[in-house]
Structure 1
Amino acid sequence: MLEQIMAFVPFAGVVAAVVGILWAAHWLLIGRQAELGNERKFSRQLIMLGLTILGLLASVLALPINDSSRNQLIGLVGIVISGMLAFSSTTIISNLMAGILLRITKPFRVGDFIRIGDHFGRVTERGLFDTEIQTETRELIALPNTYCISNPVAATLSSGTIISATLSLGYDLDHVRIERLLEEAASTCGLREPFVHIMELGNFSVTYRVSGFLDEPKRLISVRSTLYGCVLDALHGQGIEILSPAYMNQRQVGAETPVIPSNVAMTTPKQTDASPEDIAFDKADKAEKLENRKQRLGQEIERLETLLKEDLEEEKKKAAKEDLEQTKQQLKELDEKVDPVQE
C-alpha cells in the first residue's frame, strides 16, 4: 500500500508543477493586465492554450502506469480533445480559426471604417473570437469572427475614400447644367476631383450621383452630411426644385410658387477642432493611434538591428545599441501598461 502511495508522489509533483506553471504564466501574460483589449490578448491566449495542452500531456506521461496503459490513456485524451473540437467546431474553434485567417488575409486593420452585413463602424479590436467595431452612435458591437469571414467586408482605405450623394430630378432640367451645379457643390464641401454620373433614366425622373475624393476618411460622416447640404444650396440657389414629376402634395399651391426655402443660406464646411467623429469613434481613434505607434516602434527596431549588422565605428555602434534598447523598452511599456483605449 505504501509503495503504491509512493509511486504516485512523482505524479503529484508533476501535476503540482504543471498547475503552478500554468497559474504563473496566466498571471504574467493576462492576469496582471486584466484590462488588456482582445487585440492585445490574442497572442497571449494562444500561448496559454499551447501550455495547457503540453501540461496535460506531461501529467499523463507522469502517471505511474505501464506503457500500454499510458498509450491507451493518451489515445483516450486524443479522442476527448477531438470530440471537443468536433462538437465546438461551429462556435469556438470556428471563431478561433476565423480569427487566425483574418490576421493572415488582413482585410482591415484597427481604426478602419468597415461595413459587414448591416453593421457599419470603425474597428476598435481584433480579438481571438470576435471583432469589435464602434458605430456612429458610439455603441460597441462584437461581431463573431465567423461572421466576418462568411460576409463580404467593405473597408475604407486610410489613404482616402469616395463620398457620394444620389438624387432624382425631372426630365425638364438640362443635365449639363445639373452636372455642373453638382460638381460645384462637391467642390464647396472640400471634396477633390468631383464627378457626376447619370445612374438611371426612370419613367418620371433622372437619377444623378455626385461623388468626390475625401483625403481624411475619419471625417467621412460629417463630410457626407455637408455634401448633402451643399447640393441643396447649389440647386435651390438656382431655383431648381429637387422634385420628380411624380411629386404630389395635398396643399393648393400655385404653379408660380417654387417649393424651395424662401431664404437660401449657402452651406460652408465647418472649420472646428472637434468633429462628430471625434465623439462617436473615440475608442477606435485611440486604438488606431496605439497600433500605429507600435508599428512605428517595430519598424525602428528592425532598422536599428539591421544597422548593427553593418561594420560601424565603436561609438556609432554603442549609440545604436542604446537606441535599440530604449526603443524595445518603449514597445514593452506599450504592451504592459493598462490599455489606453479604456482610459
Structure 2
Amino acid sequence: MDILERLYLVLSTLVMSLITIAPVVVGLCIANWYLLGRKRDLDEESRFPRRIIMLLLSGLGVVIIILGLPVGETNITGLLTLFGLLVTAVIALSSTTFVANAMAGLMLRSVRSFRPGDFVRVGEHFGRVSGRGLFHTEIQIEDRDLTTLPNLYLVSHPITVVRASGTIVSATVSLGYDNPHSAIEPLLVEAAKRAGLQEPFMQITELGDFSVTYRVAGFLPEVKQLLTARSNLRAMMLDTLHDAKVEIVSPTFMYQRQTSGEARSLPPRRPSRRKRTAPAKDSIPEELIFDKAEQAERLEQLGAMREKLAAEAKELEDQLKKADPAEQAQLERKIDRRRKRSEAIAKIIETYQEEENAPSKGGRKRSKAKKAKTRNKQK
C-alpha cells in the first residue's frame, strides 16, 4: 500500500504540474504565432517590438508556472527568488555579454537617431544603414560591402547622421599666395554651382607656410547622391580653376623649380571651350553601391504605408457600423480599396525579400524596374 500511495502521490503531482505548465506553453505558442508566425512578410523593424513583447510574455509565463507548481509556499518563494537572482545576474553581466548589445539595441530604438537608408558615420565607418537588429546594426559602405556593427559599439561612440532633408557638401583646395582671395572666391562659388549645389559659399580655413587653404561648400537637397555630389564638386573645382589659369598647390607646393619662371603646373588646355557641368542623373553610382540600403529604406516605407492603410480601414469599419444605409456602400468601397492596396504592398514586400535572399545581377535589374513601376502606380 505504501508503494501505491507513493506512486499515486507522484502521479498526482506530475499531473498537477502538467495542468499548470500546459496552458502556459500553449498560450506562449499561440502568442508567438499571432505576433510573429502569421505575418512572415514583416521586416526586422516591425518584428523587433513583437520579439520584445514575446520575451516579456515568456518571463511572465515562467512566473505563472512557478506560482502554479504543487509545492509548498516556502519552495515557491525560493523558486521565485532564484528566478529573480538569475535575471539580476544576466543584467549585471550585460556589460560583457550579448545582453549588452540587446540593451543597446533597445536604447537605439528609443532614441530613433537613424533609420534604414540613412547615411551614418561611426568612428571610421561610413555608409548607409541597410538593416537593424536586436544585437547589431548593418551598414553598406562605399565599396558596396556590408559592415556589421554591434549595437554596444554604436551607443559608446558618437554617431553622425546625414539629415534626409539635405546636407552640406564641401571640399578644400590649397592655392598660392600669389592668387588674391577676391579672385578665387567667385571661381570656387561658380564651381559649386556647376556641381549642382545650392547656396554655395567659400571660406578661408588656413594660412599655411606655402599656400592658402580654401573651403567651398553648398547645400545638397538630395542626400542619396552624396558620393556623386562630392566627386562632382572636386571635378568642377579642377575645371574652373584650370580654365582661369589658377595653379593648384594642394596639399603643399614649394617653389623650388628648375624651369623658367614662366612655367606653371597646369594640365594641357582642352580643345573644347564648352563648360563642363555635373553628369546627368541617369547613371548614379549610389544605386549600385547602396542597393541593399535602398531596399531596406523602401521596405520600411512600404511597411509604414501598409500600417497606415490598415489603420484607415479599421477607422472606416468603425464608421460603417454607425453609418446610415445610404453611406454604407460608399464606405465599403473605400475599405475594399484600402485592403486591395494593402495586399498589393504585401506582395511587393514579399518579392523584395525573395530577391534579397537570392541576389543576382539580373534580379537587381528586375528589382529596379519593379520599384519604378511601383512609384508610377503610387503617383
Contact 1:39-1:128 at 8 Å conserved across structures: no
TM-score (norm 1): 0.87
- Residue aligned with 2:121, SS: strand
For residues 69 and 126 of structure 1, the distance between their equivalents in structure 2, rounded to whole angstroms, comes to 42
Aligned to 1:157: 163
- Residue aligned with 1:273, SS: coil
Distance 1:330 1:270, change over 3 A: same
- Residue aligned with 1:183, SS: helix
Contact 1:170-1:245 at 8 Å conserved across structures: no
Within-5 A mapping of 1:140-289: 140-243=146-249, 247-248=253-254, 252-264=258-270, 267-289=276-298
1:3 to 8, 29, 51: 8
1:322 lines up with 2:336 in the alignment: yes
* Greater Cα offset, 177-186 or 34-43: 34-43
Aligned to 2:372: none
Contact 2:309-2:339 at 8 Å conserved across structures: no
Q: Deviation at 1:329? A: 4.4
Contact 1:36-1:339 at 8 Å conserved across structures: no
Q: Deviation at 1:314? A: 2.2
Cα RMSD of the aligned pairs, angstroms, is: 3.0
Aligned to 2:78: 72
Contact 1:14-1:59 at 8 Å conserved across structures: yes
1:115 lines up with 2:129 in the alignment: no
Distance 1:304 1:28, change over 3 A: closer
Q: Deviation at 1:71? A: 1.5
- Residue aligned with 1:88, SS: helix
* Greater Cα offset, 235-244 or 284-293: 235-244
For residues 298 and 13 of structure 1, the distance between their equivalents in structure 2, rounded to whole angstroms, comes to 39
For residues 19 and 309 of structure 1, the distance between their equivalents in structure 2, rounded to whole angstroms, comes to 34
Percent of aligned pairs with the same amino acid = 41
* Greater Cα offset, 294-303 or 142-151: 294-303
* TM-superposition CA deviations, 1:117-166 (whole Å, max 9, x none): 11110011121122111100112112222222222221112222111111
- Residue aligned with 1:231, SS: helix
For residues 335 and 86 of structure 1, the distance between their equivalents in structure 2, rounded to whole angstroms, comes to 40
Contact 1:38-1:128 at 8 Å conserved across structures: no
Aligned to 1:92: 98
For residues 39 and 288 of structure 2, the distance between their equivalents in structure 1, rounded to whole angstroms, comes to 27
* Greater Cα offset, 30-39 or 273-282: 30-39
Q: Deviation at 1:233? A: 0.8
Distance 1:24 1:309, change over 3 A: closer
Aligned to 2:307: 298
Contact 2:35-2:50 at 8 Å conserved across structures: yes
* TM-superposition CA deviations, 1:249-305 (whole Å, max 9, x none): 887333222111113476432225332111110000011111112223333444455
- Residue aligned with 2:203, SS: strand
- Residue aligned with 2:164, SS: coil
For residues 177 and 333 of structure 2, the distance between their equivalents in structure 1, rounded to whole angstroms, comes to 73
- Residue aligned with 2:101, SS: helix
Contact 2:203-2:216 at 8 Å conserved across structures: yes
TM-score (norm 2): 0.80
Contact 1:33-1:338 at 8 Å conserved across structures: no
Structure 1: gaps spanning 5 or more residues: none
For residues 207 and 165 of structure 2, the distance between their equivalents in structure 1, rounded to whole angstroms, comes to 34
* Greater Cα offset, 258-267 or 173-182: 258-267
Paired AA for residue 320 in structure 1: K
For residues 301 and 29 of structure 2, the distance between their equivalents in structure 1, rounded to whole angstroms, comes to 32
Q: Deviation at 1:57? A: 1.8
Contact 2:211-2:253 at 8 Å conserved across structures: no
Distance 1:218 1:74, change over 3 A: same
* Greater Cα offset, 104-113 or 145-154: 145-154
Contact 1:179-1:196 at 8 Å conserved across structures: yes
For residues 273 and 219 of structure 1, the distance between their equivalents in structure 2, rounded to whole angstroms, comes to 12
For residues 195 and 86 of structure 2, the distance between their equivalents in structure 1, rounded to whole angstroms, comes to 62
